A and B are shown apart, each in its own frame.
Chain A
Amino acid sequence: MSVVVPRTLTDALRAMAANPSALLLQGGTDLMVEINFNHRKPVDVIALRKIHELRAVKIDGETISIGAGLPYQEMESGQIAELVPALGQAARTVGSPQIRAAGSLGGNLGTCSPAGDGLPVLSALDAMINLRSANASRNVSIHEFMVGVKRNAKQPGEIIVSATVPIVRGWQGFAKVGVRNAMVISVASCCLVVDRTKGSIAVALGAVGPTVIRCRQAEQWLSTNVDLKQDAMIGAKLAKEFGERVANEARPIDDHRGTAEYRRHAVATLASRLLQRSGAR
């Protein structure tokens, strides 16, 4: 087994090109658990923790690009939380302070578990994921990036560099259900983004399907029933029906964290509440 600790993205890409089967290690919150429990015995590891370029945040007025290695603690408050409030909220629900000092969007994307807390936010915002290899760079839509349970579109030799999302005018929020308040993985999660400029709404669900799910039918239904360009009070009846329509698009399973029935109920409630919060004045 070998461990490489490159200082620059260029060095990391060179190491990946030399050994495309090497495992990438970012914050360690997934991979080290597998190693500690002997579920995985890696042959070669490229650790990304020393690469400052992967922690860069770039704002161009209309979009914000977040480095794949930026720890969640940097998104809890400050500029990112102000410009992308749903991401700030999701960041604050991740694990514990120790986990938020290590975990990142790149880790969530690389592992591609449907329960990754950053992923519903990236989905609701139609994020573009930048992937780089030694001699190429490409941008992939989050919807094409997430392929299945713990499967993504990253090719051997590629490193996830950043996620770029639009700065949207309108309310946005993230909510999740877990077994207690702190230090918990999502049993079900939901991100809702209202785009006042376009008059549209986006809803994405986590932990209720093989990948994060976008609820296109519920989004369409709501935008034809409510003028989302205007300030509108959302009534309880409308919010309830919206929640039910969102839940109909979930594809939950029974597992050790919860039953499919509970998860469907949970996402209906989360979506309904988030919609009501979006209209609260």
Chain B
Amino acid sequence: MSIDNEIYGLTVNGEHHQVKDAWIGESLLYVLRERLGLPGAKGACEQGECGSCTVIIDGQAVCSCLVMAATAIDSEITTVESLAEKYGLTAVQDAFITEGGVQCGFCTPGLIVAIEHLLNKNAEPSELEIKEAISGNICRCTGYGRIFEAVTTAVATRKATQS
């Protein structure tokens, strides 16, 4: 299908949105933040290096800055905004607070999405698997120690609540 009337639809967090009056080459990150009022994904490097803009598209964690929004017309897009909607904070979000995994907070949404994605595939990851899973998410404040603590806590919480 061809899109040249510059109006297209995106399915974000289960809801259908119309994108209107937008340049059609815009990145998904830009469209989420500036057109759809979903500022959870953060824009920092805009070249796929920092991971702050991580979202889930069709079950894969990707950098939304590297996706041309108009090409995601038939994809399921999940952003950080959807995680806490129904049940309050998720175990991962809660653990980031209790373990001090948040300092300036800019990298946090991307890290939360990447870690939720990891734990949904692998409920008890090894330290190496955690490091690998967040190797595309850069944090310049914490030094990552508190973030690893948060993942460990979240793994335990998830395990306890599921059993």
Contacts and interface: CB of A to CB of B under 8 A. Distances in A.
B155 interface: no
A226 interface: no
B66 A97 contact: no
A95 B54 CA distance: 14
Nearest to B5: A2
Interface string B61-95: 11101111011011000000000000000000000
A27 interface: yes
Interface string B11-54: 00000000000011101000000000000000000111101001
Nearest to A6: B1
Contact of B3 (A4, A36, A183): A4
Interface residues of A, number: 34
A29 B135 contact: no
A21 interface: no
A1 B23 contact: yes
B98 interface: no
Contact of A49 (B23, B24, B46, B71): B71
A42 B25 contact: yes
A2 B24 contact: yes
A198 interface: no
Contacts of A28: 66-68
Nearest to B57: A101
A3 B66 contact: no
B132 interface: yes
Nearest to A99: B48
Interface residues of B, number: 33
A45 interface: yes
Contacts of A1: 4, 23-25
B66 A96 contact: no
Nearest to B43: A36
Nearest to A35: B25
A91 to B, nearest CB: 13
A45 B25 CA distance: 9
A102 B58 CA distance: 12
Interface string A32-52: 110111000110010101100
B71 A33 contact: no
B24 A98 contact: no
A15 B62 CA distance: 27
A25 interface: yes
Contact of A29 (B27, B48, B54): B48
Contact of B66 (A2, A4, A27, A37): A27
B136 A99 contact: yes
Contact of B136 (A42, A49, A95): A95
A36 B46 contact: yes
Interface string A47-81: 10110000000000000000000010100000000
Given A95-B48, A99-B136, A2 B68 contact: no
Interface in A85-110: 95-99, 101-102
Contacts of A2: 2-4, 24
A96 to B, nearest CB: 2
B122 interface: no
A5 interface: yes
A37 B51 contact: no
Interface of B: 1-4, 23-25, 27, 46-49, 51, 54, 60-63, 65-68, 70-71, 73-74, 114, 132-133, 135-138
The 8 closest A-B pairs by CB, nearest first: A96-B136, A182-B135, A47-B71, A2-B4, A36-B46, A28-B66, A101-B60, A3-B70
29 contacts: A3-B68, A4-B2, A4-B3, A5-B1, A5-B2, A5-B71, A6-B1, A25-B68, A28-B66, A29-B48, A32-B67, A32-B68, A35-B25, A36-B46, A36-B47, A41-B25, A42-B25, A45-B68, A73-B60, A96-B51, A96-B136, A98-B54, A98-B63, A99-B48, A101-B60, A101-B62, A102-B66, A181-B135, A183-B136
